[in-house]
Amino acid sequence: MPSVETSPVSVQDAKRLFSGWKASPAIVLAVSGGPDSVALMWLAARWRKTLKQGPRLVAVTVDHGLRKEAAREARDVKHLAAALDIEHRTMKWRGDKPKTGLPSAARDARYRLLVRAAKSCGASHILTAHTQDDQAETVIMRLSRGSGIAGLAAMARQTDRGDVVLARPFLDVPKARLVATLEKAGIAFADDPTNHDPRFTRPRLRALMPALAAEGADARGLARLAARLARANEALDVMTDGAERYLASRDGDGPNAGFELVAFAALPVEIRVRLLMRAINRVGHEGPAELGKVEALSEAINRIGPAQKSGSGSHRLKQTLAGAVISIAKGRIHIIPAPPRRGRVAGLP
């Protein structure tokens, strides 16, 4: 039977978790008012007090303007921040809200506002309180969407956001430990009802987690899988860099859109798919290409390869994907920007 660690986070644990930010000028703590991020603020404040010199801590709460309790929750965070002796800012998401895709639009707006707050106070990093449980849910969510290795690697420990780095120090910490930390300290926290709202995918998948854990697929194991896949993904990316350089060196005359077909076809399938994905995303203007579509394209190219070598069959291929045109001619795969679609030109209906 899997067991979840439930001990509060100790001073020593916190010292280790935050050690990377000792020399930062300032860090932003993203605090929604829920248990995980209130624990982040409390633990960071306690850690900061143990240092003679250390970063300025600025807690930031984003009010998405979607729930009437949000303003009060932001005020509660402000009061707690004041009691802990750290600065606090509330950032509001203004303007029209979309009817569909609201969670992802709210997330985009939240990160935009957090980055703005970080820049305005000279912070090098934004810390969020994503936990091991969040990481496990992300793995299951990506699995259900048919993601590849990069997607199943789930959330990165650090992500560059322009001049600011988004960091997730609690990815190995079970949520139960953060809740235990607050209970021990006697700190109150908010419960966001959208976290349990079955209209959204994440809460529906969250409800499945106890059953998966009972079968042995607990948060710890799923988060470990994500870490292993992140490692594999990093290695594959480095190999793709090498393959890109190798193909460019065969072209000789500097950067060239596309690849020599025979050299490309000799590479492992995973690397071919990644090369195509990169090239399409570089020139395409319709957002990142879908993995399944790039895999299908890779297979179509693969079928043409042997036909071209033997001189038999038709080796014509021309298709548009994510705003890029991919074609094969004279032994090369060409990948160029697609002309704008009719009706999508700026100013046209």
Q: Binding site residues for ATP, as ranges?
A: 32-37
CB atoms within 10 A of CB 113: 22
User: Among residues 239, 236, 240, which one has the least CA distance to residue 228?
Assistant: 236
> Which residue from 14, 62, 140, 304 is in contact with ligand ATP, where contact means CB under 6 A?
62
Closest to ligand ATP by CB, 106 or 297: 106
Shortest Cβ 195–ligand ATP spacing (Å): 5
d(CA 98, CA 1): 43
**Contact status: 284 vs ligand ATP (CB under 6 A):** no
> Which residue from 195, 208, 241, 313 is in contact with ligand ATP, where contact means CB under 6 A?
195
Q: What is the DSSP letter of 153?
A: T
Select from 13-21, 35-43, 45-53, 303-311 the region that touches ligand ATP (CB under 6 A): 35-43
d(CA 328, CA 20): 49
Beta strands in 77-222, from DSSP E residues, in sequence order: 87-92, 125-127, 158-161, 164-167
Site string (118-157) toward ligand ATP, x via CB under 6 A:
----------xxx---x-----------------------
Binding-site residues, in ranges, read 32-37
Three-state SS for 154-191 is CCCCEEEECCEEEECCCCCCCHHHHHHHHHHHCCCCCC
Shortest Cβ 154–ligand ATP spacing (Å): 13
Per the DSSP assignment, residues forming a β-bridge with 166 are 126, 159
**Contact status: 76 vs ligand ATP (CB under 6 A):** no
Shortest Cβ 25–ligand ATP spacing (Å): 20
d(CA 303, CA 295): 12
Structure tokens at 129: 């309180």
Q: What is the DSSP letter of 322?
A: T
Shortest Cβ 274–ligand ATP spacing (Å): 29
> Which residue from 48, 78, 88, 110 is in contact with ligand ATP, where contact means CB under 6 A?
110
Select from 33-41, 235-243, 244-252, 302-310 the region that touches ligand ATP (CB under 6 A): 33-41
CA 77, chain centre distance (Å): 25
Closest to ligand ATP by CB, 190 or 289: 190
- What are the residues binding ligand ATP (CB under 6 A)? 30-32, 34-37, 60-62, 110, 128-130, 134, 192, 195
